[in-house]
Structure formats: structure tokens, C-alpha cells
Amino acid sequence: MVSPRQAMILSVLFIVPIVIVVNLLLRRPVTRMLGSILVTLYGCGVAAVAFFPIPIGPRAILHMHSHGQGVIINLVPFKGMLELLGSSWYEGLKNIGGNVLLLLPLGSLMVYRGLLGNKVNVILTGLILSLGIELLQWLLTEMNLIYPRSVDVDDVMLNTAGFAAGSLIYHKWAAQILKFRRSQRL
């Protein structure tokens, strides 16, 4: 199995040079190339966190597989969050915060690039991306290609909320910048 660190290093070693070469061939300005590299690094980071998490321990993994628990599926909203918070506030808050932060930058970026028009599109895009991540986690776990992952409706809700919050933060930030620029003209 690949650890998150190994996944990130492999991604950087193979994908970033390709992004650089493509940007050079397209003769893009350095600032645009740097933006492409940052977006690529963010995407690699999301993939590393979502598909190659830090293993919970070899014994726990062997226990899960020996008891037929390749994938733990939770379709009951808030159940996973409440269980985590009940067992450990720190782990629960870390999980909630991590899931919200996972897609937050992408929500901002997509609005910045003008790829999302209204609030419904923002929420649907965040929902579809989050569902895609969860379905891929389920599929890769079932195929024994990654460490056992849980598929949790709470993750979908929190990732979607993070994506929407990212777009909202960008809108608020852009409004403040525009307001500042207008005040400078007067």
C-alpha cells in the first residue's frame, strides 16, 4: 500500500514536471505556470488525503479484513460525526475540520475562474465532487488497492459545505477588494 507521503512525492515527481512542460510548450507566462503548479499540488494533496490516508495501524487493518469489513458504509447523516465526537473530541473535530477544508480552496478557485454561476451550481458541483471522492474510495477499497476507507454521508455533507464556504469566502473577499478599489478612485 502507498502512504500519503509516498503518494504526494510520486505525484510531485511525475505530474508537476508534465505540467511545467505543457505550460512551456503553450508559452504561458510564469505567473500562469506557477498557478498551474499550485493547483496541481493541491489536487495531488487532495488525492493523497482522500485515497492514501495515514493507516490506522496494521492490526486494525488485518482485523477489519478478517471480519469482512473492507468498507464501512454510513448512510445516516451525522452518525459518524457524533460517534467520533463521542469517542474523542480531538479526533472528531479534526475529522470535521479536515473534511470542510478539503474542498474549500477548490470552491474559491472555481468561482475565481468563473466556472460556477449561481449558488445552486456551487452546491451541486461540491456535492458531485464529494460523491465522486466517496464512490472512488469505496471502489478502490473493494478492489483492495488502498487501505480500508469508510464511505460516509457526513464526509459528503462536510466536503460540500467546505466547497460552498470556499466560494462564499471568495465572493466576500472579491467584494472587499472591489470596494477598496472603488474607494481609491474617489
Q: Which residues contact 110 (CB under 8 A, 6 or more apart)?
A: 116, 122, 125, 167
Is the same domain home to 17 and 74?
A: no
Looking at the domain assignment, is residue 50 inside a domain?
yes
- For residue range 1-26, what is the model confidence (pLDDT) as tens digits? 666 677 778 777 888 888 889 989 99
**Residues 48 and 86 reside in one and the same domain:** no
User: Is residue 90 pLDDT above 80, yes or no?
Assistant: yes
pTM summary value: 0.78
Residue 60 located in a structural domain: no
Domain annotation covers residue 65: no
Q: Tell me whether residue 61 is in a domain.
A: no
Please, what's the largest Cα pairwise distance for the chain?
71
Encode pLDDT of 20-79 as tens digits.
Answer: 899 899 998 988 888 888 888 898 888 878 887 655 444 444 545 555 556 788 899 999
Residues 24 and 79 in one domain: no
Say yes or no: 161 and 77 in one domain. yes
Cβ atoms of 149 and 53 within 8 Å: the answer is yes
What is the residue range of 93's domain?
70-185
Q: Which residue has the cell 464501512?
A: 72
pLDDT of residue 60: 47
Number of structural domains, the chain? 2
Same domain, yes or no, for 92 and 171?
A: yes
Residues 42 and 122 in one domain: no
